[in-house]
Structure 1
Amino acid sequence: MWDGTGKRCCLLSDRGAGRELTSQKARAKGYEVDALRLGCGWSRGDLSRPLAVIESCFGHSHPGSIHLDSVAQKAYEGLLQVGARPAKYFCSDVCDGITQGTEAMSLSLASREVIALAAELHGKSAHADGVLFVSSCDKAIPGHLIAASRLNLPTVFALGGVMSHGASFRTLESVIDARRQLERGEIGQATCDAIYDDGCPTPGACAFMGTACTMQILAEALGLALPGSALCPARSFELLRLAQSSGEALGRLIDEGARFSDIVTETSIENALTVLAAIGGSTNGLLHLAALATSMGTQFSLRHADEVFAKTPLLCDIRPSGQYPSDLFWQAGGLPRLVDSLADVIDGSAMTITGKTLGQSAHDYLKVRPTTIAEGYLGRFGLSPESIIRPADDPVRRAAPIGILFGNLAPGGAVVKWTGADDRARFFRARVFNGQESALREIVSKRIEPGDAIVIRYEGPKATGMPEQFYATELLAIDESIAEEVAVLTDGRFSGATRGVCVGHISPEAAAEGPIALLEDGDIILIDVGRRRLELVGDSGGKMSEREALSLLERRRASFTRPAAKRHTGLLAIYTSLASSVEQGCLMMPPE
C-alpha cells in the first residue's frame, strides 16, 4: 500500500488515486504534529503513512472487555502489515449486569453516548484516515456504530466474541435462579458458589442472546465486520486471526477510499432488522438501530420495523427465546449460515467491508468452513447446525417473538418480546408504580397476583435515563405460580435476558405526559400481540368501549398533576435533558 515516503505501492484500487489523506492535510496545517508523533515513538517514515485509529473498549470492567487488549494488538499488527500506522485509543464500557438493580443502571444508556462521543473525538482529533473499532458488548458496539456514522471514514469492527457456556449449558442467567434457590433453602451454599463460578467461565460476551450477542451479530449483518466474526469464541486463536485480518481489511478500505456510508445504507439497516428478528435478539437492538439511523440522517419507522418482524421467521433456538447458549451460534456457522437461511427475506446485494456483497460473503465463508467442522463440535452434544440455526422451512416460530404495539396507551409505539407466552389477546389489571423500586418491593413480598400488569413508569429516557427493568421481570419469571400469568409494562427498557410477557419503550413516556402517566390501579389493559394493540379498555368498574376509554383518558389528563421530577446531576442530568424519543433511538440531541 504505502512505502513510508507517502507514496502508494501495491495499489489495490483506483478509487483512492490522487486522494489526499486526512492525516497528511493535518501535517501540512499543524507545525507541531510531526514532533508530537515522533514523541510517541513514531519513525519519520511513519509520519507519511495512513493513520488508522484503533478505538478499543479494553478495560477491567467486565468479561466482555477484559481481553480486548489482545484483540486490539492483533488488529494493530494487521494494519502495520499493510503499511498503515495504527494508533490505539481507549474508552472502556460499563456492564449492565454490574449496574443492574442499582441507581447506576440509569447511566447505562447514557454510557452509549459517552462511548460515541469519545470515539468521535478520538477519530476527529487524531485526523484519522480510518478507524477500527474493538468492542464486544451492550453499549460499546452501538456507541461505536454511532461514532462511525459521524466520522464517515473507512471503518471496520473487530468484535470481541462470546464466552463459553458452563456445565450443562449454564450461562449467566443461572446465577439469579441459584440465588433464589439458596434463599429458599433448595440448594446449599457450596452448590450456589459452584454455579457462580461457572456463570462466566471465560472472557467474552455473555453466552445468551442478550444485547451484547445481538449487537455483535448486527454489526456483522450491517457489513462492518468480517464474515464469521460475530460470537467467535473469545478465548480462541481464531478471534485473534480475525482481528489481524480486520486490520488488513481496514488498510484496503483506506486505500480504496471506501467510507462508512458506502457500506451502511438503508438496505443494511433493514437487513439488520431482519436478522434481529431471526435471532430472537434483544429489544435493545431495535433502539440502537433507530439511534444509528437517526445519526445517519436516515428515516426510521417503528411501523416499518414491525412489518419486517412480521414477515421474518425465528430461526435461532438460542436463549432466552430458545434452548441453547449463544456460543453455539458461531459453531453452527454463524451469521453466514443465517444469511443463507434467510435468502428469501434478506437483501443479499448489500455491500460489506470484504468488497463483496452480504450474500456472496456468506456463500464464500460457508465454502471454506465446511459443515463437517460444525457437525463435529455440535455432535458432541447430540446437536447439528440445524439444531441451532434452523432452515427457513423449519423455523422455531413462523414469526419472530418481537413486535411493535400501538394503541391508546402507546400512540408512539411500544416494543413487546414474548418468550413463553403466545400472541393471543390477553387482559390484565393494572398495578401502577412510579419507579422500579416500589414494584420490586411488591414482587419480593409476593403481593402480585395472576392477571396483574405491573406498570413501571417514569423510567423513560427523559425521566431516569431509561434503565432496564431486569430484576422485576426475572423475579416474576422464576416464580412458577405467576410467571406466565402476569405482564410488565414500562417506558423503560428490558434486558436482553428478559423472559415473560414484557412491553417496554412505551412512547410517549410518562415524563413527557404520555398516556402511561394516566393509568390507575385496577385499570383493564389489553395486550394483543397478534393485532399489535396496547389499549386501556376499562377501569376498576369494568370494561368499556373504545370511545369511553378515550374519554376516560381525556378526563384524567384534564386533572393530571405530574409528580415532582427527580433531580439529577452530572452525566445523567445532561442525558435526560437531551435524550430524544424512542423512534430516534433515545439519541442525545441538541435542543432545537
Structure 2
Amino acid sequence: MPQSRSIPNAITIDEKANPYRDCIQGLANQPITVVRLLRDAVNENPVVASDRKFAVPEIRDVVGRLVENRPRIAIIGGAPDHPAHLLDRPQALMAAIRIWEMGGVPFLFHVPVICDGTAQNNIGQSYSLASRNHTAAAVNITFEGHSYHAAYVIAGCDKSPAAVVAGLAAADQARKYRGDQAPVWAVFAPSHVLKGGEIPDGTRRLLDKIADDADRAGHDDLGGDIRENMRYILQCTSDEAFAGLLDRARLLGIIDGKMERRVLDELAGATCDSKGGICAFNGTGNSSRTMLAAFGLTPPELELLTDVPPYAAVAAGIDALFGVFNKAEYAISNLLKRNFANFVRIHNATGSSSNMLLHLPFMMRYAGFDVTIDDYQDVRLKTPVPEIFAHSLTENRDTFVLAQQMAEGKNRGMESIYRVLADLGVAMDLDAPTVLGKTWGERIADLEKPVDLSLGDKSVIRATPVRKRSGVDVLTGSFFENCAVKTSGMSDHLIEHFDNHVFIVRYYENEHVCNADFASPDLVTRLIETDGVDEDLIAAVVRRNGGNRVDMDAPKDMLAQGHLSFAFVIGGQGPEAYGMPEMFSPSQNLRHHRILEASSMLITDGRYSGVTKGACIGHMVPEAFSGGGIGHLRDGDVLRLDLTKNMLDWLDRDAFLAGTETAGSPIDLADRAPLFAERQKRMVARQYDIAASNVMDHVSNAARGIVPGVVDRRAVNPWRN
C-alpha cells in the first residue's frame, strides 16, 4: 500500500486553494525534490531510518499527498559558510523523515546568513542589516511561490532568525487578505551553542609578558586591560578586544608588528569549536534564541542544545506543528501579537541585545502590526522587570553552561524564566498561546522550582534578581527623537556615575578614525586639544561632574576619575547613509580601555553588537543622512545625559560656561548648516562603497524597524489584545 495512504487519521489542511491540485505544473515538478530529499535522509541517517523502518516513497505517493492537501512543510536552513549552520544538514534530514512519517510533505531550502563577526569592522557590516530585509523577502518569496503551509526553521544567529520570522509573518498576512488559504504555522529550532575556546598556554605566556612589559614601560592601564581580557572565554568578541589592545601595545613600542600578528593568529586558530554553533555570549544570536522561545515558537526540546539534536527532539518539533494545524490561534502572526509584551519583559530581564530594538518592530511590522520602539518603552515603563540572568563570560556562566544546566534538568529554559518572573509579581500574560498548543500558564503549572537551588552562584537563571535595573532604555532628547542605550551592559557604578553627567563632543564620520584615536599613544593630548575645547570648558565640565580639582598638567587623572568626560560621536552610520553597521570595534576598545570606560561614552546613528558593554548609545533617529541633529554636532559641543529621566540633551555652550544649562538643538545654529552640507556630500559619496542593490533606500527609520516603505505603510493593525 502506498505510504501516502498508510497514515491513520492523516491531517489535511483546511483551505479553499490547493495549487498542487489545481495547477498540474507544480504537481509535476515538485515530487522529485521530495523523493530526493527523503532518499538523502535515509542514506545519511541510516540508523534513524532503520529504527523507524522508514522506506523512501515513490513519486506517486508524493503526488497523492499533494493532491490530498497534506501539510506541505518547508525545512529552512542557513548557508554552511556561517558557523551556526555547520550542522544543519543532519537535523534537516531528520526533520524530513518525521514530516513524511506524520503524513506531511517535506521540502528543504536554505537562506544566506552573514556572520556579523566576519563582517565586523569592514565593508561587510554595510551589507549585514540589508541582508535581514533581503532574507525576509527571500523566505517569503520561496514560501509563497511554492505554496507551503508551515516551516521547521533551523535558526542561526545575528539577524537571520528575525528575518525568517518576518518573511513567514508576511506570508501569513497576505493569506489573510486573500482569504482562500490557511494561515502560516512555524516551529523554530535554534542552532546549538558554540563552546567557547581557551587561550593556548604559549599564547597566554606571550600576553602575560606583553602586559608585564606595559607595566614596566609606565602603561599599567594597558597591562591591566590585557589581563582583564584574558579572563574572558575565547570568542571572536574577545579577539576583537585583543586586536585593539595589541594595536595600542604596538603603537607604544612595547611589541612590533610581527609579534602583534603572531598573537592574533594564534588566538584566531584556537577560538571556534569544530562543531560550530551560536557563540556563547549573550549577543544577538542568543538574544534571538531567547526571542524565539519567548514568543512561544520553540519547543523546549529544541531550545538550548550543545550539539545536533537527537531524533526525538526533532520529532517533538514536528509533532508540535502537526498538533496546531488548522488552528488559527497558533498561526505565527497571532503568536507574535499575543506574546509581544511578554517578550519585551523577558528581553529586559535577560539583559539581551540592543539589536532587538530594531528586530522587534521589524518583525511586528512585517506581521502587519503598528509597532515602534515607543511600544517597547511603554511596556518597559509600565511593567518594570529586574535582571534575572547572571550571565558571565569570566565566571563560567555563559550560554553554553546555561544549555548544560538545562540538559541536566537544573532549569527548564524559557519556562523557568516565565515562572521566575511570574513568581516575582511581573505581569506576564500566562494566557498567551505557544506552538505546543498550550498557554504559558499550562506549560509552567507543574514547575514549582524553576531553578535547582543546588547550583547556587553557578546558576545562569536566578530566582532572586541580580539587580533591579536591566535591559535596554529608549532615550529622547532636545536634538533627536529617540535612541537606545543598553543599560544591562553598564555596571551599576557606571549607571550611577553617568546619571546627570555632561560630556564634551569629539566627532567622527567613520569608526576607523575613532579606533585610531583610541589606540593612539597620545590619546589624552588629542582629547584636550580637540577643536573647540579649552581650559574654561574643561574646568566647567570637571566641576559640573563633581570634580573638585582641575589640573591641566594632569588631564589623564581627570579622565581616570571620570570627571573630564567625552562623548565620542560617530555620525553618518545610519541605515540610509551606510547600511547601519555595528560600531562594535570602537565599543570594545572603549570597554577595554579603563581610562575611557571610566570617563566617556559612544554615540552613533549606527548600531552595536549584542555583546556590547559600557556606555554605548545607538540607533539615533533621525539619522545624520536625513538631517538629524547628530549630523549637526561638532567638536566641543556639550551634551547632558540623564539616565533617571532617559534624556540626552544638547546644551548651549555659552550658557553652560556661564553656569546655566539650556537645552536646545545644534540644527538651530546658523553656522551648522554649511557644516552639515559638507558632511552630507561626503555621506553621499561614501554610499558608493556599497553596491547599489544593497543600499537601504526608502526604508523606515530605526524606531520603526528599518523596513521597506510598503511594509511600513501596511503595518496598521493594533498589537494590543
Query: 2:20 maps to which residue?
Result: 27
Contact 2:156 2:191 in 1 (8 A): yes
User: Is 1:482–2:580 an aligned residue pair?
Assistant: no
Query: 1:315 maps to which residue?
Result: 388
Query: 1:454 maps to which residue?
Result: 568
Contact 2:320 2:437 in 1 (8 A): no
Cα distance in 2 for partners of 1:103, 1:574 equals 12
Give the drift of 1:358.
1.9
Matches within 5 A, 1:267-416: 267-310=338-381, 311-319=384-392, 324-330=397-403, 331-332=405-406, 333=411, 334-343=413-422, 344-345=425-426, 346-363=428-445, 366=447, 383-384=457-458, 387-391=459-463, 394-416=464-486
Change (3 A) 1:538 1:48: farther
Change (3 A) 1:567 1:35: same
- Measured against aligned partners, the alpha-carbon deviations of 1:488-538 in whole angstroms (never above 9, x if no partner) come to 000000001111100000111111111111111111111211210011123
Q: Between 211-220 and 396-405, report the one with greater CA deviation.
A: 396-405
- Measured against aligned partners, the alpha-carbon deviations of 1:292-330 in whole angstroms (never above 9, x if no partner) come to 111122132423422433401111011479973122233
User: Is 1:91–2:93 an aligned residue pair?
Assistant: no
Contact 1:57 1:93 in 2 (8 A): no
User: Is 1:132–2:152 an aligned residue pair?
Assistant: yes
- Measured against aligned partners, the alpha-carbon deviations of 1:261-282 in whole angstroms (never above 9, x if no partner) come to 4642433111111111111000
- Measured against aligned partners, the alpha-carbon deviations of 1:466-497 in whole angstroms (never above 9, x if no partner) come to 00000011112111222221100000000011
SS class of match (2:589): helix
User: Is 1:230–2:303 an aligned residue pair?
Assistant: yes
Cα distance in 2 for partners of 1:436, 1:89 equals 37
Cα distance in 2 for partners of 1:225, 1:296 equals 18
* 1:37 counterpart letter in structure 2: Q
Change (3 A) 1:21 1:353: farther
Change (3 A) 1:540 1:77: farther
Cα distance in 1 for partners of 2:343, 2:122 equals 31
Contact 1:488 1:501 in 2 (8 A): yes
Cα distance in 2 for partners of 1:540, 1:522 equals 12
Cα distance in 1 for partners of 2:394, 2:376 equals 19
- Structure 1, unmatched stretches of 5+, are none
Change (3 A) 1:252 1:552: closer
Cα distance in 1 for partners of 2:393, 2:623 equals 27
Change (3 A) 1:557 1:8: farther
> Which of the pair has more CA radius of gyration?
2
Cα distance in 2 for partners of 1:487, 1:88 equals 46
Change (3 A) 1:551 1:131: closer
Cα distance in 2 for partners of 1:489, 1:414 equals 10
Contact 1:79 1:250 in 2 (8 A): no
The TM-score, its normalising length taken from structure 2, stands at 0.73
Matches within 5 A, 1:416-495: 416-417=486-487, 418-420=489-491, 421-423=494-496, 424-446=499-521, 447=523, 449=527, 450=559, 451-495=565-609
Contact 1:575 1:588 in 2 (8 A): no
SS class of match (1:57): strand
User: Is 1:47–2:63 an aligned residue pair?
Assistant: yes
Change (3 A) 1:250 1:556: farther
Cα distance in 1 for partners of 2:166, 2:401 equals 29
Give the drift of 1:415.
3.7
Cα distance in 1 for partners of 2:581, 2:292 equals 23
Query: 1:4 maps to which residue?
Result: 4
Q: CA RMSD in A?
A: 3.1
Change (3 A) 1:548 1:396: closer
* 2:361 counterpart letter in structure 1: A
Give the drift of 1:169.
6.5
Give the drift of 1:546.
6.2
User: Is 1:511–2:593 an aligned residue pair?
Assistant: no
Q: Between 46-55 and 351-360, report the one with greater CA deviation.
A: 46-55
Which structure has greater helix proportion?
2
Change (3 A) 1:34 1:296: closer
Change (3 A) 1:129 1:413: same
* 1:29 counterpart letter in structure 2: D
Contact 2:75 2:95 in 1 (8 A): no
- Measured against aligned partners, the alpha-carbon deviations of 1:421-440 in whole angstroms (never above 9, x if no partner) come to 21422211101111222222
SS class of match (2:501): strand
Contact 1:107 1:572 in 2 (8 A): no
Change (3 A) 1:477 1:569: closer
Give the drift of 1:573.
4.8
Change (3 A) 1:433 1:573: farther
Query: 1:160 maps to which residue?
Result: 191
Cα distance in 1 for partners of 2:3, 2:271 equals 49
Contact 2:302 2:317 in 1 (8 A): no
User: Is 1:170–2:169 an aligned residue pair?
Assistant: no
Change (3 A) 1:320 1:508: farther
